[in-house]
Amino acid sequence: MPNHLSFTAAPTSRINKRPSKSSFKKGITSPVKTPPFVSRSSTQHKLDIIATNVPFETDYIIPDALTGIKYLCEKMFTPIEMDKMHRNKIAELYAAQAAIPRVILLHQLHSLCTTNHTQVDRELADICEKGYLQRIMFHGRNEGDFALMLAQDFKGILEKLKASESEISGAVENFEKVLFEKNGVFTGVRITNGQNSELTKTNISTLCSKGLLTLDHTFPGSYAISLPNIGTFLRNLRSGRREILRILKKQQFKEILEKNLLERKLKASLFSWEFHLHDIYGSGEAERFTTPVGPGIRLTS
């Protein structure tokens, strides 16, 4: 089992704020409860990951990479304020959230874990082989090479497409045969030339139009696995990232107390503060540090 990495404070902070008396109370408790699938006392997992970059809570244990993925998916969206919105607006937000695929980026998972990242990557390879995880190809700056999605969610998208649009069910079924013909598990991120022969040109055209395939320019003649509405996911991710980075750039020393940031309302994204903060921490664009009055966030460049 890899050694835990401890979180250390920055030598100095230029955030000038008089600490309140409550700041010195012993044992301040986070208002957010630990997710039910997170165990604080588990010692029987291959990984023992201390989540030190998580807003609100800094002491719970993520027992393995799969739990970390589930945690980030659960925290993906900003909670809907039911008592402050008209029912039509609530329905609109629910529909918008439901349309976005539940995926996370690899660097978000890395930001959640203080374990050696190589060990995390090994566990990801293992759960891919066991059929718990589906990797999705991305071709974009700062998103890395691929995203991670629970295999059950990916298969659920395929089943939903077959049920809702009967005219494409044949193409989707052939797609499933190509992906899952070997032990019901697909560990790759693209369909190669040899696998393409199992799909007709019409099948490929249909799958591309529905967002399940995209032409992979890095491998001529191959197609990368994709998702419907992945563009909406990326737009929200990038818009929220830009908004946070703009806020930090406007601060005198390019840093802000985390609690002051979280008091604001994200205007450009459906995603939660926590989901975005793991994005900018994992990508290295900002870092979290400690101050006498709570965690702070600052730009790294």
pLDDT, averaged in runs of 10, over the chain (301 residues)? 40 48 38 38 37 47 86 92 89 94 93 80 91 82 72 94 88 90 76 73 92 86 90 95 96 94 92 95 92 94 79
pTM (2 d.p.): 0.77
State residue 9's pLDDT score. Answer: 41
In 3D, which of 255, 267, 263 has the Cα closest to residue 295? 255
DSSP label of 2: P
In 3D, which of 188, 186, 99 has the Cα closest to residue 145? 188
Tally of residues, the chain: 301
Q: Which residues of 50-63 are buried (b: 16+ CB within 10 A; e: fewer)?
A: bbbbbbebeebbbb
State residue 8's pLDDT score. Answer: 40
In 3D, which of 296, 251, 271 has the Cα closest to residue 105? 271
What is the residue whose two structure tokens read 């718990």? Answer: 132
State residue 260's pLDDT score. Answer: 94
Domain boundaries, the chain: 31-119+231-299, 131-228
Long-range CB contact pairs, 84-93, < 8 A, 24+:
93/270
What is the residue whose two structure tokens read 């000038």? Answer: 16
CA torsion, ordered 127, 198, 104, 48, to nearest 10 deg? 10
State residue 196's pLDDT score. Answer: 60
